[in-house]
Chain A
Amino acid sequence: QKEVEQNSGPLSVPEGAIASLNCTYSDRGSQSFFWYRQYSGKSPELIMSIYSNGDKEDGRFTAQLNKASQYVSLLIRDSQPSDSATYLCALYGGSQGNLIFGKGTKLSVKP
């Protein structure tokens, strides 16, 4: 059974700071990883996907993958109050499109 673990938070950071969100997973064979953002009462929205070890940057977001440690992280630079949301880590559970989500980390960015 594939599992995705996240600290539920809340993680509170001041505006302009770097927010660091972490995720671990159980299946060493997992290859594809995703970070979704979910505002309260809304649907998940894809932020980043990462498939290779190392860093992947997209604007203020950087995803980091370490397959040896079974660890994925998301860094948000220059955090804004609008970044306040729950961040979901996900990986493929079976076929493409079957995602296993973590429970999410709630991020609060204080002005």
Chain B
Amino acid sequence: EPEVTQTPSHQVTQMGQEVILRCVPISNHLYFYWYRQILGQKVEFLVSFYNNEISEKSEIFDDQFSVERPDGSNFTLKIRSTKLEDSAMYFCATNTNTGELFFGEGSRLTVL
């Protein structure tokens, strides 16, 4: 069964450092998303990406965040200067043009 693959599974970083989280979408999927879940909190939408550009973003997705698909396969989320409150599980999700989102297993980010 095709799946969304995320790396790394866990990253520990110092406050102020840059972090890049990577996602390999399911091959025929065209829509890509990042969500985050702070421990014990709701799953929150960050950004959607289609046709090599952002189609929608939430208030959480401020100037510290960026997304790109540099090589046609990986879909990345970059956090430029991490803050303590960025500690969370980050989920990549993809789909075709139907409603079902396929989530990756997540990347746990710990900011010290």
A interface residues with partner B (beta carbon < 8 Å): 32, 34, 38, 42-46, 49, 88, 90, 93-104
Contacts and interface: CB of A to CB of B under 8 A. Distances in A.
B75 interface: no
Contacts of B106: 42-43
Nearest to A38: B43
Given A43-B91, A97-B33, A97-B95, A103 B100 contact: no
B3 to A, nearest CB: 10
A43 B89 CA distance: 9
Given A45-B103, A46-B101, A49-B100, A95 B42 contact: no
Contacts of A45: 103
Contacts of B56: 94-95, 98
A42 B105 contact: yes
Given A43-B91, A100-B45, A103-B42, A95 B55 contact: yes
A43 B99 CA distance: 17
B44 interface: yes
Interface string B80-105: 00000000000101010101110111
